[in-house]
Amino acid sequence: MPAGAALLLLPLLTNGAAPAHAAGRADRAPAESRADAESRADAARAPAHGRGSVVSVRRVDVLDRDRVREQLSPYDLDAPPAEYGVVTYVVVYRTIDAAGRPTVASGLVAVPRGGSRTQRVLAFEHGTTVEKAGAPSGERADDNRAFPLFYAGAGYFTVAPDYLGLGLGPGRHPYDHAASEASASVDLLRAAREPARREGVRLDGRVLVTGFSQGGHAAMALAETLDAGADPRLTLGGLAPASGPYDLEGVMLPAAMGTPGDARAVNLAVGYLVLGWNAARPLYRHPEEVFLPDQVDTVLRLFDGWHTEAQILAGLPDRREALFQAEFLAGRNEAAGRFLAAMRENDTTCAWRPRVPVVLFAARGDREVPFANTESCARTLTAHGADVRVSDLGDIGHIPSGIESAPRILAWFAART
């Protein structure tokens, strides 16, 4: 492993106290609804073939325009106000896992009501969640459900993948894994034709792609895949992600060095990456190559998809040395080398030339996903010959940057219609 990797990891896992919201851990996983349990059982029985073919479709809500506006108001996503009612579906479909093997995944499809019978398609890629039910199709999706409603309320047929291992998907989520973010998204776009058929709408083959936070990274991965011709019936119609972690090695991980008092949060992020990427390309033969032996059972239990972020934070040590092996932290074992290689593999979502103009939204005041990520992405896209511009949302934080970017993304896409 190159010497620079040790410098990357050592300042990353800084010591500090747990955030206040981590208190009050409850180990019991939240109860699953009967409908989700039945859908998960359908997914488990599904034949493993036919990427993008439907396993099950369940209509969730039929909302009139006023109800859409009411649901968006708590998230400050009510400007501009919704113009259409929305019907939402949870779709379980066949895809491939991070290693290319057949599996199933799920996602939310939000269909505008009362507009054109031929609808523009928008793919929304959601932000980080450690909990299966926090994905767009889940019962605790919160803003991951609100953003798809916002875009559907504006008249766009909106597809919101859960990604692998979230929602009703089996196994662990491969966090920030570009290839599977893209494959799961393309296959949901294919599967979404069934809800469109049920609602009697035709779909424009040009896909507008956006996403927030982790979803910015996923949006870039999906857009490149569409632009490369992954499906002859789908083309990239526009690309406008917001506040994505496009540069893990160069920006995200070193930035943790300047975040005092947040060691548990950093431990969560690195643990999530290690466990997720290990499913795509083995980083270790035994988890003890990364985690201390007395922490392995705890880590595997906490990152099972059923625990909340607060529960995971409360269950992790408040020091790097109490969670990770010293050899891993110092970059002296094979697991550390493979981790760095995987990081670089997933840091390439901006290294291509889109055939459409691109706007990257981000906030200079964002401390969670620093603005330098977007600057790095813009430089890389420009070096590949892309038509790209950066829209600086100003001195606001990470979550506000997602809210502030949404109406601007709508305006950008409307100008391309």
Tell whether 141 and 193 lie within a shared domain.
Answer: yes
Query: What is the tens place of the pLDDT at every residue in 243-258?
Result: 999 999 999 988 765 5
Tell whether 49 and 187 lie within a shared domain.
Answer: yes
Residue 89 dihedral angles phi and psi, to the nearest 5°: -130, 145
Going by C-beta distance under 8 Å and a sequence separation of 6 or more, which residues neighbour residue 374? 243, 244, 246, 360, 361, 362, 390
Tell whether 369 and 327 lie within a shared domain.
Answer: no
Q: Which of 316, 345, 374 is a domain's end point?
A: 345
Tell whether 130 and 202 lie within a shared domain.
Answer: yes
Tell whether 234 and 274 lie within a shared domain.
Answer: no
Average pLDDT over the chain, rounded to an integer: 89
Query: What is the tens place of the pLDDT at every residue in 151-181?
Result: 999 999 999 999 999 999 999 999 999 999 9
**pTM confidence score:** 0.88
By residue range, what is the domain housing residue 227? 34-247+347-415
Tell whether 195 and 81 lie within a shared domain.
Answer: yes
Q: What is the pLDDT of residue 257?
A: 56
Query: What is the tens place of the pLDDT at every residue in 267-307?
Result: 999 999 999 999 888 999 999 999 999 999 999 999 999 99
Tell whether 310 and 169 lie within a shared domain.
Answer: no
Q: Which of 325, 345, 365 is a domain's end point?
A: 345
Tell whether 78 and 160 lie within a shared domain.
Answer: yes
Q: Which of 320, 345, 370 is a domain's end point?
A: 345
What secondary structure, in 3-state letters, does 310-369 show? HHHHHHCCCCHHHCECHHHHCCCCHHHHHHHHHHHHCCCCCCCCCCCCEEEEECCCCCCC
Counted domains in the chain: 2
Q: What is the pairing mode between strands 157-161 and 118-125? A: parallel
Length of the chain (residues): 417
